[in-house]
Amino acid sequence: MKMLKLNLSTAALFAALLACGPAPARGVDIAQADRTGKLISIAAAHFGVLLQLGSDGRLYQVDSGRRLSPSSLYGQLSTDEVDDLLARPEAMVFTNGGKLDRETEYHPAFGDGFISEPAVQATHADGNNSTDLIFVTNQSTRLDSNITLTHIELKDRYYPFFVTLCVKAYHDQDVLEQWTEFRHDEDGTVTLFRFASSSSVIQSNQYWLTQLHGDWANEGNLEEDKLGMGMTILDSKIGVRAGRFRTPSFLLSIRNPAQEESGEVYGGTLEWSGSFQFAFDVNWQGQLRVLCGINPFASQYPLARGQVFKTPAMLWTWSEAGKGRVSRNFHRWARLYGVRDAGQPRPIVLNNWEATGFNFTESRIVSLFDGARELGADLFLLDDGWFANKYPRNNDGAGLGDWQVNTNKLPRGLSFLAGEAKQRGIRFGIWLEPEMVNPRSELYERHPEWAMAEPHRQPEVSRNQLDLDLTRPEAREFAWKVIENTLGSNPGISYVKWDANRYVTQPGSTYLKPDEQSRLLIDYNFALYDIMARMASNYPSVTAMLCSGGAGRADYGALKYFHTFWPSDNTDPLHRVFIQWGFSQFFPACALSDHVTKMGSRPFKFTLDVALSGTLGLDMDVAKMTAAERKATTAAINLYKQSLRDIVCQGDLYRLDSPYEGPRSAISYVTPDRARAALFVYQIQDAADQPVKLRGLDPAAKYLLREVNLPDGAVSRLPADGKTFDGAVLMGDGLAPNCQKQFESAVVELTRQ
């Protein structure tokens, strides 16, 4: 095999990176000389990162983004030569001696001369605050035809302190999933102060960051800002839920603000339901480092000898075709790997929360079953208020923690209700909030020490409740028993809505020792996942909705144990158009529960059409619906089950007209084989009718158009209804939806002929 010599002129991309080499390595205990220049490529179909070992033993990031190809990276080298390089990196000789810019170090640590925001910061057992990581080894294993797992081991130059960088590359979905594992063999405890899951360097001249922010009943707002020099932080510090004010996901556009279907855009989302931090650091050379992971704020982690600390994984994707493809990559990944049973049809749930709140009786609930059945719902979900006797759960001020059925409201228990539902041919589900306690409860009377609190401070309640300290084994077991007792003794319950209605403000534990307190917020979430995982594996046929006072846990950390999440308590369809648009950037429709309600008093067709574009459900008192509303809902549910559900839940999303940019919102879903599609148009302000240009269709195919979900007896006003068009025409010229007035809407099915 020939030796390839890369010099500055043939490796144009390297040239920018070869300045300012570090000081020669001190006391290297692992021979590096013969490996200088070694390349490690981690790549999905079109997206990857290329790493390189420097002469100082450190690992550097050469590039990220477009999967490195001969033309992009190596200029004049042939494909064979490049393959040879990647396979035999020792054959590569760098004319600069392998010195690389410290600012491009892949996973830098504090204390070894690196002066920007580090990915790792630790105090070693002997009190040394510095860490100096060098490359030890790497290994890639093909897990199956789609996934390759790469481990890269780094070690401190002196201490037996190891950092393993782990990356799963999902080839077909263009997703990299990255996490970090820490362990040591030092004589004592090492304290981790910073422990990023991923630390990527991106090189461009401008960066535009989109975040998803909000508050209770106002979730999922998109905001894009240009990154300036220095550090921008998106984070949450609220411990037991990733968000209330911000979701742990972002888009990062290179050079220009993000476009829907063009331009280079990265997407990132963290698999973690606790405090998170994304730090975007633009340095004096214009390079951007993005550090993602658990928020190190108030969370330094004491690591015992031999213990492994595994960070949550960060998901990255990238596209050269705008944020639309970023979303489709995440959705495809999520449907295969990120959301529980995503291939299975979601049941249509009728929830009683907005109909009854806490105020119901057994007969009232049973009477709602008949309505649910009549409309065609698959399942009745009994929300908050069904439990507690000494301190009955008649409002949010009492009873949380006392998970015995309230015998006044439900004298014959949950099994009776489940049986009544079954007799009417529907399933039965239940609301739980197993991690929380009201001070006015028997649980709190017995075990005040199970709640998180700080000594010498008045417990600070939120929604009149406190968080149980899940690091305490008895409290953790209690939370598990809430699930097991409810589901195990009532096999007729086949759905759970898991809620969590407060965040943490006093992260103190009476179980953890004084020097362990700072691990509470992290270990809480590991304990939480343990319980969620047990629920998913012990009750595989129970469908589960994730709720945290709305979208507080809209994250892929928890979603692997759940079928859907509840995006907001705001179900006004006008607001939902925006909320669903926001979450669709990162999450597929099969994961978003979208319920028809009366909130906002919008025209009923508009309300139905908005909910039909996600995982359809209802939150209504059927007895209070008009005959026309009942008829329309029954027809919509039937339509959803017959044809829309699998297009919406399994199809590729194309966002066509943004409600942020104009008077209407339009989206479509296209099945992977492009044989069927569904178009949803929502007019949010009065405006003249304009054609909607579809995307993702087969340009050469012919599609029959049919407007669906029309009010009873109405005739479509769409000129294109019932006609056949070429895919190319629908994408080039578009179709007029005939929506002009605020709250007009249209749903159109397209079928390839």
Closest distance of CB 385 from ligand DGJ, Å: 8
Residue 110 or residue 444: which is nearer to ligand DGJ going by CB? 444
275 near ligand DGJ, rule: CB under 6 A: no
402 near ligand DGJ, rule: CB under 6 A: no
Stretch of 105-113, 508-516, 545-553, 601-609 contacting ligand DGJ, by CB under 6 A: 545-553
Question: What is the rounded CA–CA span in Å between residue 33 and residue 135?
Answer: 12
Helix intervals (H) in 166-246:
none
Residue 101 or residue 569: which is nearer to ligand DGJ going by CB? 569
Name the residue whose CB lies closest to ligand DGJ. 384
- State the pairing for strand pair 133-142/198-203: unpaired
Based on the residue annotation, tell me whether 569 is a catalytic residue of this protein. yes
- Amino acid identity at 68: L
569 near ligand DGJ, rule: CB under 6 A: yes
566 near ligand DGJ, rule: CB under 6 A: yes
Query: Hey, what are 475's tokens?
Result: 């409290």
Angle at 632 between CA 631 and CA 636, to 5 degrees: 120
Element (H, E) at 79: helix 79-87
Stretch of 71-79, 184-192, 327-335, 542-550 contacting ligand DGJ, by CB under 6 A: 542-550
Q: Which of 605, 462, 477, 587 is nearest to 531 (CA)?
A: 477
Closest distance of CB 594 from ligand DGJ, Å: 13
Closest distance of CB 216 from ligand DGJ, Å: 8
- Amino acid identity at 216: W
Residue 130 or residue 462: which is nearer to ligand DGJ going by CB? 462
User: Which of 499, 523, 572, 594 is close enough to bind ligand DGJ by CB under 6 A?
Assistant: 499
User: Which of 198, 247, 406, 501 is close enough to bind ligand DGJ by CB under 6 A?
Assistant: 501
Distances (CA, A) of 60 to 105, 159, 266, 285, 444: 4, 21, 20, 16, 53
- Letters for 334-353 (x = contact with ligand DGJ by CB under 6 A, - = none) are -------------------x
549 near ligand DGJ, rule: CB under 6 A: yes
Cβ–Cβ < 8 Å for 622, 630: yes
Q: Which of 101, 499, 523, 721 is catalytic?
A: 499
Residue 63 or residue 499: which is nearer to ligand DGJ going by CB? 499
Residue 326 or residue 388: which is nearer to ligand DGJ going by CB? 388
Query: Hey, what are 388's tokens?
Result: 């507690």
Stretch of 315-323, 544-552, 621-629, 654-662 contacting ligand DGJ, by CB under 6 A: 544-552
Which residues in 552-572 are b (16+ Cβ under 10 Å) and which e?
bbbbbbbbbbbbbbbbbbbbb
Query: Hey, what are 426's tokens?
Result: 């529907």
Residue 359 or residue 724: which is nearer to ligand DGJ going by CB? 359
572 near ligand DGJ, rule: CB under 6 A: no
Distances (CA, A) of 675 to 173, 670, 693, 751: 21, 8, 17, 6
> Within a 10 A sphere around the Cβ of 453, how many other Cβ atoms?
20
Closest distance of CB 546 from ligand DGJ, Å: 11
159 near ligand DGJ, rule: CB under 6 A: no
Cβ–Cβ < 8 Å for 678, 747: yes
Q: Which of 64, 82, 65, 59 is nearest to 11 (CA)?
A: 82
Residue 383 or residue 420: which is nearer to ligand DGJ going by CB? 383
Stretch of 334-342, 476-484, 546-554, 727-735 contacting ligand DGJ, by CB under 6 A: 546-554
431 near ligand DGJ, rule: CB under 6 A: yes
219 near ligand DGJ, rule: CB under 6 A: no
Closest distance of CB 359 from ligand DGJ, Å: 12
User: Which of 103, 174, 281, 383 is close enough to bind ligand DGJ by CB under 6 A?
Assistant: 383
Question: What is the rounded CA–CA span in Å between residue 672 and residue 650?
Answer: 8
Helix intervals (H) in 424-519:
442-446, 473-488
Stretch of 267-275, 543-551, 598-606, 625-633 contacting ligand DGJ, by CB under 6 A: 543-551
Helix and strand numbers (H, E) in the chain are 16, 38
498 near ligand DGJ, rule: CB under 6 A: no
The dihedral region occupied by 628, where left means phi > 0, alpha psi between -120 and 50, and beta the remainder, is: alpha
Rg (CA), the chain: 28
Helix, strand and coil content of the chain, in percent to the nearest 5, comes to: 25, 30, 45
Which residues in 467-496 are b (16+ Cβ under 10 Å) and which e?
bbbbbbeebbebbbebbbebbeebebbbbb
Q: Which of 631, 211, 34 is nearest to 639 (CA)?
A: 631
547 near ligand DGJ, rule: CB under 6 A: yes
> Within a 10 A sphere around the Cβ of 9, how many other Cβ atoms?
10
384 near ligand DGJ, rule: CB under 6 A: yes
Residues touching ligand DGJ: how many (CB under 6 A)? 11
Closest distance of CB 550 from ligand DGJ, Å: 5
Q: Which of 251, 242, 239, 243 is nearest to 219 (CA)?
A: 243
Residue 152 or residue 545: which is nearer to ligand DGJ going by CB? 545
Closest distance of CB 480 from ligand DGJ, Å: 21
Closest distance of CB 468 from ligand DGJ, Å: 17
- Amino acid identity at 692: V
Residue 340 or residue 502: which is nearer to ligand DGJ going by CB? 502
User: Which of 118, 338, 399, 550 is close enough to bind ligand DGJ by CB under 6 A?
Assistant: 550
> Within a 10 A sphere around the Cβ of 162, how many other Cβ atoms?
17
Closest distance of CB 241 from ligand DGJ, Å: 12
- Letters for 465-484 (x = contact with ligand DGJ by CB under 6 A, - = none) are --------------------
Closest distance of CB 344 from ligand DGJ, Å: 23
Closest distance of CB 218 from ligand DGJ, Å: 13
Closest distance of CB 351 from ligand DGJ, Å: 7
- For the segment 614-653, give every residue that binds ligand DGJ (CB under 6 A): none
434 near ligand DGJ, rule: CB under 6 A: no
Closest distance of CB 597 from ligand DGJ, Å: 11
Q: Which of 490, 485, 446, 494 is nearest to 468 (CA)?
A: 446
Query: Hey, what are 537's tokens?
Result: 């594996």
- CA atoms within 13 Å, Cβ hemisphere of 22: 24
Cβ–Cβ < 8 Å for 244, 549: yes
Element (H, E) at 577: helix 573-583
562 near ligand DGJ, rule: CB under 6 A: no
Cβ–Cβ < 8 Å for 70, 152: no
Place of tokens 């995307």: 695
Residue 337 or residue 387: which is nearer to ligand DGJ going by CB? 387
Residue 101 or residue 383: which is nearer to ligand DGJ going by CB? 383
Distances (CA, A) of 35 to 1, 39, 98: 17, 9, 10
Q: Which of 569, 572, 619, 657 is catalytic?
A: 569
Based on the residue annotation, tell me whether 215 is a catalytic residue of this protein. no
Q: Which of 540, 621, 614, 603 is nearest to 577 (CA)?
A: 614
Residue 186 or residue 467: which is nearer to ligand DGJ going by CB? 467
- State the pairing for strand pair 190-195/301-303: antiparallel
580 near ligand DGJ, rule: CB under 6 A: no
Residue 548 or residue 585: which is nearer to ligand DGJ going by CB? 548
Residues that are catalytic: 499, 569
Q: Which residues bind ligand DGJ (CB under 6 A)?
A: 353, 383-384, 431, 499, 501, 547, 549-550, 566, 569
